[in-house]
Amino acid sequence: MGATEKLAACLAKYRGVVGKVVDFDAANDRLFALDLTAANTELDPDMVADTEAFTIYINKKLAGSNCRYAIGGYMEHRTIYARSAHFDTEDEPRRLHLGVDIWGDAGTPVYSPLAGIVHSFRDNDNFGDYGPTIILQHTLDGGILYSLYGHLSRSSLKGLATGQPIAPTQQIATLGRADENGHWPPHLHFQLMLDIDDAKGDYPGVGKFSEKDTLLNNIPDPALILKFSGIGTTAF
The overall average pLDDT reported for the chain is 90
Q: What is the pLDDT of residues 4-33, one digit of tens each?
A: 999 998 888 776 678 899 999 888 888 999
**What is the mean pLDDT of the segment spanning 167-187?**
96
CB 122 within 8 A of CB 151: no
Coil vs helix vs strand at 10: helix
* Domains of the chain with bracketed CATH: 3-233 (2.70.70.10)
pLDDT digits (tens, 9 = 90+) for 32-79: 999 999 899 998 888 888 999 999 999 999 999 999 999 999 999 887
For residues 169 and 172, what is the distance between their CA atoms, to the nearest angstrom?
9
For 157, other C-beta atoms within 10 Å of its C-beta total 17
Q: 100 in helix, strand or coil?
A: strand
Q: Model-level pTM?
A: 0.93
Mean pLDDT across the stretch 231-236? 44
User: What was the pLDDT predicted at 113?
Assistant: 95
* Cα–Cα distance, 58 to 69 (Å, whole number): 10
Q: What is the dihedral of CA 162, 168, 172, 178, to 10 degrees?
A: 120
Residues 184-203 have a mean pLDDT of 97
